[in-house]
A and B are shown apart, each in its own frame.
Chain A
Amino acid sequence: MSLSEEARPQQAKTPIRKRLEALPALRFSIDDLFETSTTILAASIILIITVTSVLLIRGSIPVLEGFKTGLFTGTNWISVAGSESYGVLPYVLGTLVTSAIAVAVGVPLSLGIAIFLAEMAPWSVRNALSRVIELLAAVPSIIYGFWGLFVFRFWIRDYLEAPITSYAGAFPVFQGTPFGLDILTAGLILAIMIIPTVSSISKDVMMAVPSSQREAAYSIGATRWEVVRTGVLGYARSGIFGAIILGLGRAVGETMAVTMVIGNASGSAALPTSLFKQGATMASVIANEFSEAESGSLHLSALIGIGLTLFLFALVINVFAQVMVWRVLKVRGGSVE
C-alpha cells in the first residue's frame, strides 16, 4: 500500500473496517473526481451523436425501404403523392461543391489574415483588426443571406460572372445565364462566413506559439517567411487544422444564408454541372421542405434521409481529413502527455 497507510498509527480493526479495507481501491481523490467528471462530460458528445443517429435512422427507414440505395444514387426529387421518387445525390454534390469553394477561397484568406495579425502587425493594428473580424463574426447568418440576395449577388453577376461568360462561357463549368443566384455565389458567401472563425482561431493559435520557437528558427539563419513557416506554422499545425475543421463545419451546416442565394433547384436540375447553375445543398432542401412535410409521410422520411446522408457525409469527410492530415502534416490528434 502507499506510504501514508504505513505511516498511520495502527488502529483497532473492527470487523467492518477489515472488510472495507479488503475491498479493492475504493477510495479516490479529487484528481480522480476531476478526471471522471471531464470524462463524463466528454462522453455527452457520444450521447448526443447516438441519440441523433438513432432518430435519423429510425426516421429514414420508410424511405430506405422504398428506395434502398436508390436514395443515395438517385437524382429525382418528387414529393407529389402517387409519383414519389427521392434521390439525394444532387444535394450531396451541391453541399460538396459549395463547401469546397468556401474552403478553397476562405481558408487561404483566413490564414493570410491570421499570419498578418499574429506575426507582422503592430499591436494597435492587431487589436483594431481583431475587433473588425469579431464584427464580421457577429453578423447573423440571416443577414448574410439578405445581403447576399440584395447586394452581393449583383456584384458577382456583374463583375465576375458576366465577364467570365463572355470569355469562357463555352466551358461546361461556366455554362448558363448568370443570375447571380447560383452555386458560385453560395460558395463565396460561405467563404466570407467562415473567415472570422478560421482566422481568429488561427491567429490565437499562432500567437500562443512560444517565442522560443521563433527565436530558435532565427538563430539558425531563417528568413522572416521561413520563421513563420517552420517555427510558427509547424508548431501551430494542430490548432490551425482545428480551425479549418470548424470552418468546414460551418460551411457544410449553414442553412439560411445558402437558401437565399443558391437558387433552390430541385431534383436532377440541382446537379451542379456548372458554377452558374441554380443548385441546392442538403441543408437548404431540409430547410425549405421540412416544416411542410406531413408527419408520417414518405416525404418527411425522405427529408430525414437527407439528414442521415449528411451525417454519413460528415463522417466520411472527417475520416478523409484525418487521414490526409496525418499523412501530409504528420499530426495526430493527441493529448499533452
Chain B
Amino acid sequence: MSASKDVVIRTTGISKSIFIISLVIVAAASGVAGFFVPGLLKQSSSVITINGAGSSFVFPLLSAIDANYTASNPNVQINYQSVGSGAGITDFSTKIVDFGATDAPLSGGPTGQRANITRDTGTPLTIPESIGAVAVAYNVNGISTGLKLNATVAAMIFQGNITQWNDPIIANMNLGANLPSSTITVVHRSDSSGTTFIFSSWLNSSNSHFPWKLGVSKTPKWQYGTQATYLSLPQNVGVAGGVQQNPNTIGYVELNYVLSTAPPMTYATVLNGDQNGYVLPSLTTSTNAVNNSTASLPTGDGDWSKVTLLNAHGGSSYPIVSFTYILVFKELSVVPGMTQAKAQALVNYLWYVVHSGQDQATKLSFVALPVPVRTIDETTIRMITYNSVALHS
C-alpha cells in the first residue's frame, strides 16, 4: 500500500504547515465576514423582531395578543416562547431576550434576584399582565366537582399526613360524600413550574399545627421523607392527564386549563381567605380576589416578592390566585441589539398588552386585568427609557 507514495512525482510545493495555517486563516476570515454580511446570515433591517421567553401559563394569552398586534403593526414581530418561568427570569437577566415573563416575581432581599439584576445590569421593571388561578383536581369514583378542602387539609394530603381518601379529616369536612378507602396518589409537576410556586405558596398558609414542610418553590421537596404516594409528570397537561387517567388521584392544575379541557375535570371547592365559605374556582371568583387585593401593590421598579393575591378577602374570592408578570429593563439600552426603533416598538407593545390585549383574556379563560392594576402598569411603562429618554408619555 505504501509503495504508491513513491510513484507520485513530487514537485516543489508549499509546506504542510503553511498550508494548514493559511487554511485556518481563510476559514476564520470567511466566518467573520459572513457574520457581518447581511441577508442570509443576519436579519434584514426592515422588520423589527422582539423576542420574549418565560411562563408557559400565560403563553396562550400572549400568543393571541402577539398575533393581533402583528396584524395591526406588520413590521413588528413579537416572538414569545414558553420555556418556563425560571428560564424566563434567567434569559431576561442575561439579556438574551428582550423581555421575560414569569408567574413567580423576582426574589427580594439583598441577595435576591432583583438585587443581583439591579447590581449587574440595571433596574428591572415588573409589569403584571394577567392573573392565574390554580384548581385542585382529583379523580375519585363517585365524587363530582365540589369536594371541600382547605389549605391545611390540602397540605396534609400533599405531604402525606393524610394517605387515604376516607380519612376522618376529609370525611368530616364532606359529610355525605361516599369516600372510598383507597390510597391517595398525589400528582405533581416533575419540571420546575410557576404553577407549583403559586400552589405551594398557598399550601404554606396551612394551620401551624400541620405546617407545610416541603417548601415554597417552583420545585418543592416532593417525595422527601413523606408517606404519600407520588406520580410526577411534566407540564400542566401531564398532571391533568395523570389525574384523569389514574384512579384515586389528586393534583393541581392551572384554572384556564381546567376550564378549557374536554372531557371536563372534577375539582375542589376551597375555603376562602376569610374562612367563612367555600369557593369554586372560576374567572369571576378569581377577579373578585384581585379586586379585593389591589390596595397594596408596589411601583413597577419596586420589590414584588411579597405581593400576594392568596387568601384574598371577600365571601366569593377564590384563595389560590396570583399575578403573572412581564419583566423588562427600565433603561433599555442595556440590552444588546436594542435600537431606538426597537425600544419604541417594545414599549408600544407593552402598552397594547395591558389595554387592548386584555380583550383576548376572557375567551381564552384568562382573568382580564382590573382597571386599578392597568393604571399601575401604565405608570410603570412610562418609566421605560432608551438612553434616558422616556418612550411613552
Which residues of A are interface residues toward B (Cβ below 8 A)? Answer: 2-5, 20, 26-29, 31-33, 36, 40, 76, 78-80, 83, 149-150, 177, 179, 181, 259-260, 263-269, 278, 288-289, 291-295, 337
What is the CA–CA distance of A27 and B13 in the complex, to the nearest angstrom?
5
Which residue of chain B lies nearest to A288 when distances are taken between CB atoms in the complex? Answer: B191
User: B192 and A288: CB pair below 8 A?
Assistant: yes
User: A260 and B15: CB pair below 8 A?
Assistant: no
Residues in chain B near residue A29, CB distance under 8 A: 5, 8, 10, 13
User: B219 and A79: CB pair below 8 A?
Assistant: yes
User: B1 and A337: CB pair below 8 A?
Assistant: yes
Shortest B109–chain A CB gap in Å is: 11
Residues in chain B near residue A5, CB distance under 8 A: 10
User: B223 and A267: CB pair below 8 A?
Assistant: yes
Shortest B54–chain A CB gap in Å is: 10
| 9 closest Cβ pairs, A-B complex | A292-B86, A292-B192, A264-B190, A291-B87, A264-B232, A80-B215, A269-B223, A27-B13, A288-B191
Residues in chain B near residue A293, CB distance under 8 A: 86, 90, 192
Q: Which of B64-72, B233-241, B363-371 contacts A (4 or more CB under 8 A)?
A: B233-241
What are 23 sample pairs from A and B whose C-beta atoms fall under 8 A apart? A4-B10, A27-B11, A32-B16, A33-B19, A76-B224, A78-B224, A177-B229, A179-B231, A259-B234, A263-B232, A265-B223, A265-B232, A266-B190, A267-B223, A269-B224, A278-B232, A289-B191, A291-B86, A292-B84, A292-B85, A292-B192, A293-B90, A294-B89
Shortest A288–chain B CB gap in Å is: 5
Which residues of B are interface residues toward A (Cβ below 8 A)? Answer: 1, 4-6, 8-13, 15-16, 19-20, 83-87, 89-90, 93-94, 113, 190-193, 215, 217-224, 229-234, 238, 241-242, 246
User: A266 and B232: CB pair below 8 A?
Assistant: yes
User: A4 and B86: CB pair below 8 A?
Assistant: no
User: B20 and A266: CB pair below 8 A?
Assistant: no
Which residue of chain B lies nearest to A33 when distances are taken between CB atoms in the complex? Answer: B19
Residues in chain A near residue B229, CB distance under 8 A: 177
Residues in chain A near residue B113, CB distance under 8 A: 294
Residues in chain B near residue A80, CB distance under 8 A: 215, 217, 219-221
Interface centre among A5, A36, A79, A337 (most CB of B within 10 A): A79
User: B223 and A266: CB pair below 8 A?
Assistant: yes
Shortest A145–chain B CB gap in Å is: 9
Residues in chain A near residue B83, CB distance under 8 A: 291
What is the CA–CA distance of A231 and B10 in the complex, to the nearest angstrom?
44
User: A267 and B224: CB pair below 8 A?
Assistant: yes
Residues in chain B near residue A260, CB distance under 8 A: 233-234, 238
What is the CA–CA distance of A310 and B1 in the complex, to the nearest angstrom?
41
User: A27 and B231: CB pair below 8 A?
Assistant: no
User: B6 and A2: CB pair below 8 A?
Assistant: yes
Residues in chain B near residue A278, CB distance under 8 A: 230-232
Residues in chain B near residue A288, CB distance under 8 A: 190-192, 234
